Structure 1
């Protein structure tokens, strides 16, 4: 425990110095939460990263919302009716619901919001999540110009009808994720892209945005006009964008932060000690860490080279030597057991001899003449450790040199989006418990694809899975698609399946529990006794 005492003393001294220097303090928030980075955005129709979604989901709420167990429950809609064919849902909004500025919130806000995210010119990466709605895909792809033909209609101010393309067993789960949230038309049309700034942003979630100081904090305050505000215990929350694990742990151990919920915030040097502490909580969830190829950039436009890079990876060297949290080695993008007991097909395992053979067949025997390429990652110690280990394995087993390129979170996301990379670290956390939340990411029309890979065969397999009512046959179609993605075309290299990690004192803070989608709403959290 000596290391922990040194950490506490060092941070306490730094804190006292900074307080003396500024000469004043601000009131402590009810909860101080350490987020892993500065959000790319908090617009629910733009945000794609978990750090941004945590904030956006506190500010906005859709027809449904997630509870502390990660399950969907009624949100703005107090109830809904479903037709016998499971293709038409009629949602009944709660009476008296308003935006945080008291403007009435009606079903027409959903029409505006869903048209906004599906607009081809808007460029939302998550627009494909709405493709389960009748004609949503055709509208987003520009094949259909009239939004009135999309399967959503406001029957009156409180009644919304949604028609689906096919029966979708996870549709209610979708209604709880941020892309399905309404946004305030009257504010967006008045302020344009500046509408998400403090003082301008109007939401309908459990919290409102009080302040946003870049690289310092996002301050949230309870929304007193939220329909369920009586059951939101915490009045104020500070969200700190700390990406350095040692700094985050320092804040937590010295009481300057109450909660960490980021699997990347465990310092490798302290993992064994931290796992023994009562405030360390973990559990499996639907998340995967993988390497993504840019298939439009040589030499990774050759699937043989991509497969060679995959076969050269010994995952044990990462999960046992670096991450050390009990993660399962991944040979698929989708974690086993997702949805209704989906079992992904076996993917490429460690086989350096076959890897060298494929590289030679591609024209680079022993790595001779192979061009210099870059592996993109973002600055966390564990991310660098994984990148260095991958770099070493590709050198050792293939004889190729891979440079490491480190970029800050927002720049890293932009580089992926613009396909300005050769290889890059990637991760995905399921938005709902179904294989589709992973596999649909690599549809040719999905904004989260970011590889340049487009396969009509893959697209059709997933379309067929969406139409298939028989779960066994549906899983078979998913397996065929995943084999194409991971093995045949080798667009990605699965590395390991995540376990969730949370740091908090369970004897004091409650309303948090590990769940399969790693979603922990702030509105569920509360102190057992006064702090």
Structure 2
């Protein structure tokens, strides 16, 4: 049992994290180790990769969102049970009779980490920047069909100033929606709706959010010791945070540890307080009192690049995509490789996310298995696809991150495909997470192992990604019927629960069953070890983790 967290000897830390941390990161950690702050409450965590970026407006990946959620805050923050609670908003908003106009008051004690006030203007600036086509924000479409004017602005048909957000004064923010939105408060807990300090950003120029020193924070923590590319960083309690009394730890030290064995060694030597386990460690620790599992809302899938800029690829062929889908035995991946509580997935919306508004049936259960494992059918699709392409064989490059679990899954995918689809060759390209993110968002891949974590409790957070020209699409997929189903569900069907539900079911059927845009693999389960003296480290089925209330017993 650990009570007061003590700074451990420099030599031991360097030896244990040598394979995971850069020399620079070790020096920083060693320097902190000699501060003599033995009474500090310190939590020690690992990360699977480096931070791709800190800018809430430009973030487009789970790694960044997880960091951003600790150091920034919007009008609402999710509470311990995953429900939106007031954050930068001082009180619940005034809402018009038609549920389209919201008027928020910003709390008077909301400040940035330099002591300057968080104002309504910071929200107006951030939201308008997010929908500006010149910004190219990946999450700009979160405003589409939601905030008035966003759809036309994103298309370049209206000026940015016509977005339905206005700072009436420093503490009053008026938001006008296109239609009533049942999950609007949940949306406001996500990064792209967070405020941004305009004067500071303009002063920093291109350096803004490139490292911990060129960023202002308004969340429970500030980021320390991050140089923009390093393998270590620290969350330090934000003394300017309006609710700082609720923040229990003084700091959270994070090291990038990509190898599970190294992470487990660090945990066993009290250098980490929590560690995620890959399948080969589950049996070893399953009976341990510190072993836990959790089924997240994260979904893992493969994207297939159908083409870009008018140039089609071989993966634009529907039969080839269906062959790749049907040739995979996902049970092997889930039960033999992961072995961590993950579930096989035959759609893109996970289990446990939302329920039929009339019957209460789970979305995943109602829509069923939209793709299935059948080698004979896979071979037929493969044969027909090759004939249509006029080829006898195909070769694809599979891009994946360089974490140990991703590498193992990629090798298994290669084996299954090559052994079942004659003439197929798969070349695996393992890259650091930030390079994998870049390949995804810039569509510089053929096949890519990626996924999605969801931002709020609604199927829209998964299906909205694949509308035409969405910055989250990155596949070349475009279908007018799909677009209409999804966009109608964000607008004119918002107050028609069953029509909206059926439209979302149909949209997923089009995406997976009919068009085979993705190769769904599994809904992510997490098996992990966590020290008994750590409490209130909040993880949600959807949305980024929340460290605000985490505590370490004394």
Common fold by TM > 0.5: yes
**Which segment drifts farther, 332-341 or 431-440?**
332-341
Contact kept, 8 Å, 1:465 with 1:474, in 2: the verdict is yes
Instruction: Give yes or no for the alignment of 1:106 onto 2:119.
Output: yes
Give runs of aligned pairs for residues 176-215 of structure 1, distance below 5 A.
176-196=189-209, 197-213=211-227, 214-215=229-230
Cα deviation, residue 160, structure 1: 1.1
SS at match of 2:57: coil
The TM-score, its normalising length taken from structure 2, stands at: 0.87
Equivalent residue for 2:49?
A: 37
Equivalent residue for 1:465?
A: 489
Equivalent residue for 1:218?
A: 233
Cα 1:305/1:23, change in 2 over 3 Å? closer
Aligned equivalents of 2:500 and 2:528: distance in 1?
34
Contact kept, 8 Å, 1:280 with 1:502, in 2: the verdict is yes
Aligned equivalents of 2:30 and 2:301: distance in 1?
47
Contact kept, 8 Å, 2:341 with 2:527, in 1: the verdict is no
Contact kept, 8 Å, 1:97 with 1:227, in 2: the verdict is yes
Cα 1:222/1:298, change in 2 over 3 Å? same
Cα deviation, residue 227, structure 1: 0.7
The TM-score, its normalising length taken from structure 1, stands at: 0.91
Cα deviation, residue 86, structure 1: 2.3
Instruction: Give yes or no for the alignment of 1:526 onto 2:551.
Output: yes
Counterpart pick for 1:374 among 369, 377, 397: 397
Give runs of aligned pairs for residues 76-475 of structure 1, distance below 5 A.
76-79=88-91, 80-131=93-144, 132-147=146-161, 149-196=162-209, 197-213=211-227, 214-260=229-275, 265-296=276-307, 297-340=312-355, 341-342=362-363, 343-364=366-387, 369-399=392-422, 400-466=424-490, 467-468=492-493, 469-475=495-501
Aligned equivalents of 2:132 and 2:71: distance in 1?
23
Aligned equivalents of 1:496 and 1:125: distance in 2?
24
Q: Deviations over 1:170-219 (max 9, x none)?
A: 11011111111111111110111212233331121111222214333112
Equivalent residue for 1:516?
A: 541
Cα deviation, residue 502, structure 1: 4.1
Q: Deviations over 1:359-391 (max 9, x none)?
A: 2112359x9722211111111221122111111
Unaligned runs of 5+ in 1: 1-9
Contact kept, 8 Å, 2:129 with 2:135, in 1: the verdict is yes
RMSD of Structure 2 on Structure 1 (CA): 2.4
The list of structure 1 runs, each at least 4 consecutive aligned residues, that deviate by more than 6 angstroms after superposition, is: 10-13, 16-20
**Which segment drifts farther, 85-94 or 513-522?**
513-522
Equivalent residue for 1:3?
A: none
Aligned equivalents of 1:363 and 1:223: distance in 2?
59
Q: How many matched pairs? A: 512
Cα deviation, residue 481, structure 1: 0.9
Unaligned runs of 5+ in 2: 1-10, 356-361
